[in-house]
Every structure is written in structure tokens, then in C-alpha cells.
Amino acid sequence: MNGSEPTFVRKTLAPARKAPVVTTGLIGFLRTRLFNSPLNVVLTFASAVLAWFVLEPTIRFLLVNAVWQGSDRTACLADKAGHPVGACWPFIQAKFTQLIYGFYPEDQRWRANLTFALAALLLAPLLVPKIPGKTLNAALFFLAFPCLAFFLLRGGGLDGFAFYWLAELFSVAWKPSLMRFWLDFSLTTTVVIAVVILLWGGWPNGRRAGLVSALTFAGIAVVIVTLRLDQGGLPVVDTRQWGGLLVTLVVSITGIVASMPIGIALALGRTSRIPLLRIFSVAFIEFWRGVPLITVLFFATYMLPLFLPGDFTIDALVRVLVGIALFAGAYNAEVIRGGLLAIPRGQREAANALGLSYWKTTGLIVLPQALRHVIPALVNSFIALFKDTTLVLIVSLFDLLGQLRAAFADPTWATPTTLFTGFAFTGIIYWVGCFAMSRYSLFVERRLNAHRQT
């Protein structure tokens, strides 16, 4: 066989051989990536030195020189410990409950714990694609859980349902009593189920929808009985007493969850062909994007009450939640609009040609694709929002960082390293939250983009 011959026919096939050792494994990695040129040798050593200068003091501060036990500041002083002192972990131990619950009454903290547990229990199966029953799971997490969490965390009961509210609306005297409460509940249930069945095409087409709403009301009844909402419910814990990680989680999760539908609606509005809708969406988005979050929070807390009628008050936390949801919604709207614009016009045309309506085309064809495109950008804004929630501090809500600063003020724990210890601890909590979101979004991206791999 000679390369210079004009024609060639292979007689035997060349068998696959193992790759030379120099290109694979650890040795291959070292040779091809770290030490393959004089410049890279220098860079490798420089990076190693840099890593050492960062990691060594961190580990020394957090672990080696750290103080692990003690009951007050003296344990964390160098002359008492007998060595240079790093992190003062007893400070975190002493303030731990405060950092998690704020000033939530000690004997009621089980309610916060129960809420955390319920959230975890409902969220975990929602995040694992293999577990079935996503519709029910999502309905429980996004609709039922927030209502339940409200009555669990804040407490208080219900006076009645639709007929009670109607009576109040028309200023009809209504003296709440147990019997009236349950009468009202059954009547409301009946009316709602009837309306649902009618809306879903009457009997027998609406049978399923009617059954679903009946089961929903049965679930509501169970919750009412267990939490005794008909008899005043749990003792009320005012939101001013909430704090710490509890507030951080309530604000950020509500913000993230509520901003999504707002963002989708605004993005669709902005790309709509109906001028009024478009103008409204543009104005709304530009207004909320143009105002700093701090201004929004200030306005919601201190200015809004001045505009509202005298006896009409909204809880401070609720005002903040609404403000943050609208603010984040405006940001999400632009992200989602970017995704909508990336969908070729042919997709909508093909769906239309098959006879799908605007809403079905949007919900089944356009949005699923658009949202996939913007997962990285959306998670970006969720992470930013998670960290921005700490701004609620300026309107006197004590989130995790707010509680930490309150804890710094305690003279029992005033040591040279208290400040660093506290920030290191909260920093780790924030980092774990953000990193988890980031990794999960990568997982979702890879799963949803299965169709792009050929």
C-alpha cells in the first residue's frame, strides 16, 4: 500500500487501539491541561498559590481556630481560649432560634416548623420528574399550601363564607355562630359546585369538574376542623413578630411564585395585538422597572396607608409581598417576552391551522417553548430576588440579615469575631439556597431540552 498509487481498496480493517496513556486519566490531564507549555506551568503554580492564600485562612477561621463551645463572649476571647480565635460558633448557637424564627413566640414555633415541613413535603415530589400526580401536587403546593400557611403562621379563624361576606357587603346584621358557619359553608359549597358543573358544560360533561370541586371543599372542611378555624383557630401571631429565615423564605417564595403568572400575563399583554392591553402592559412594566425596589417598599409601607381610607388597613407584610411580586413580575415579563420573541411565527401558524384557539396555542405551543428558552434568565432573576428580599429591612421587617444585625447589638456576645461569624453563617445559608436553585435549573434545562439532542 503506497499513498502515491492513484487507486486504493482497503483489504483489512484497522482494529481500534487503546488511546496512548499520555492523553487520558490523571497523567493525561496533567500533561495536556496543566503543564503543557511553560506559560501554563507558571499559571498552574500561580493558581495553586492563589487558591492556598484563599482557602487556608478560610479553613483556619471557620474550623481550626474556631471556638465551638461557650455561654457568652468570654469563650471567644483570645486570652481565654489560649489561641487566636476564628469563628465564634457559640454566638450562632445562642442566636439560632432568633435567626430562624425572629420574635415568633417560643410556644408557637411548632407552627413555623410545621409550615416548613409541609412546604418541604409538597415541594420535594414536585421537583422530582419521575413522581406522578404533578397536577394534584402543583395544585396543593401553589393553591392549598399558601392558604394553609396563612392560617398556620398567622393564626385566627374564619367567620363565614360567601353568604357571610355578602351579608357584610350589604351591611346585613350577622351574628357569627357555629351553626351559621357550617350552614354557610354547605350552601357556598353547593352553589360553587353547581356553578362549576354548569360552566363545564352541564350534566354529564361537568361531572368531573363537579367532583373535583366537591373534593376540594371536603379538603377545606378537613382543614377547618383540624385547625378549628370555625372556633377562632390558632392564636394570632402578628406579622411584626415574624422574622429571620421565616420572613426571608415567606417573602422570597411568595415573590418567586407570584411573579411568574404576573410576568407571563404582562409578557403576553406586551406582545398582544390589542392596543389597550399592549399600552397597559408597557406602562406597567416600564413603571415598575423604572423604580428602585427600596422606593416600592417605602411607598407600600409608609405612603400607601395615607391614600387608603381611614379604617382600611392592610398588613405590612402583605403590602411588602404585593410590592415585591409586582416588581419581580415586571422584570420576569421582559425575560419571558424575550422567550416569546424567539419562537418562530410558523409555530403559531401551524397551531392555528390545526384549529387551536389563541389561548390553546399560547398555552400548549408557544409558552412551553418560550419558557424553556428563558430558564437561565428566569433563575437568574429568582436568585437576585432571593437576595434582594433582605431590603425589607428598611421597612422594619426583620429578615435573616435583619435578625443577624439585631443579634450583633447584644453586648453578651460582643467579640472581635462576632461580626465575621454572623456574616459567614448567613452567607452560607444564602449561598446554599442560591446554589441549589442554580443546580436544579441546570437539571431542568437538560431534561426539558432532551428534544434538542439528536
Partner 1 sequence: MRTARPDMDNRMAADPIIRIENLNKWFGDFHVLRDIDIAVTRKERIVVCGPSGSGKSTLIRCINALEDFQEGKVVVDDIELGPNLRRVDDVRREIGMVFQSFNLFPHLTVLENCTLAPIWVRNMPKKDAEAAAMKYLERVRIPEQANKYPGQISGGQQQRVAIARALTMNPKVMLFDEPTSALDPEMVKEVLDTIMDLANDGMTMLVVTHEMGFAREVANRVVFMDAGQVIEVNTPGEFFGHPKHERTKLFLSQILR
CA distance 69 to 89: 7
Burial class of residue 322 (count of CB atoms within 10 Å of its CB; 0-12, 13-18, 19+): middle
Residues 306-345 vs partner 1: string with x where CB under 8 A? --------------------------------------x-
Does 108 help bind partner 1 (rule: CB under 8 A)? no
Does 10 help bind partner 1 (rule: CB under 8 A)? no
Q: Which three cell numbers stand for residue 124?
A: 420535594
Residue 164 and residue 176 in contact, taking contact as beta carbons nearer than 8 Å: yes
Does 450 help bind partner 1 (rule: CB under 8 A)? yes
Q: Cell numbers 483556619 label which residue?
A: 60
- Residues in contact with partner 1, counted by CB under 8 A, come to a total of 24
Does 109 help bind partner 1 (rule: CB under 8 A)? no
Residue 324 and residue 288 in contact, taking contact as beta carbons nearer than 8 Å: no
Does 209 help bind partner 1 (rule: CB under 8 A)? no
Return the sign of the alpha-carbon dihedral for residues 377, 378, 379, 383. positive
Report the residue number, 216 or 352, with the smaller CB distance to partner 1: 352
Residues 429-448 vs partner 1: string with x where CB under 8 A? -------------------x
Residues 353-382 vs partner 1: string with x where CB under 8 A? xxxxx--x---xx--xx--x----------
The least distance separating partner 1 from the CB of residue 354, rounded to whole angstroms, comes to 4
Nearest to 299 by CA among 330, 326, 320, 314: 320
Window of 69-77, 126-134, 290-298, 350-358 that interacts with partner 1 by CB under 8 A: 350-358
Alpha carbons within 13 angstroms on the beta-carbon side of residue 194 total 6
Q: Which three cell numbers stand for residue 441?
A: 435549573
Report the residue number, 186 or 205, with the smaller CB distance to partner 1: 205
Report the residue number, 368 or 416, with the smaller CB distance to partner 1: 368
Report the residue number, 142 or 358, with the smaller CB distance to partner 1: 358
Sequence-ordered list of residues with C-beta below 8 angstroms from that of 279, at least 6 positions apart, any chain? none
Report the residue number, 18 or 345, with the smaller CB distance to partner 1: 345
Q: Which three cell numbers stand for residue 49?
A: 498559590
Nearest to 100 by CA among 234, 236, 242, 254: 242
Report the residue number, 34 or 371, with the smaller CB distance to partner 1: 371
Report the residue number, 307 or 359, with the smaller CB distance to partner 1: 359
Nearest to 137 by CA among 151, 152, 154, 118: 118
Does 171 help bind partner 1 (rule: CB under 8 A)? no
Does 207 help bind partner 1 (rule: CB under 8 A)? no
DSSP tag of 71: S
Give the residues lining the site for partner 1 (CB under 8 A). 344, 346-347, 349-357, 360, 364-365, 368-369, 372, 448, 450-454
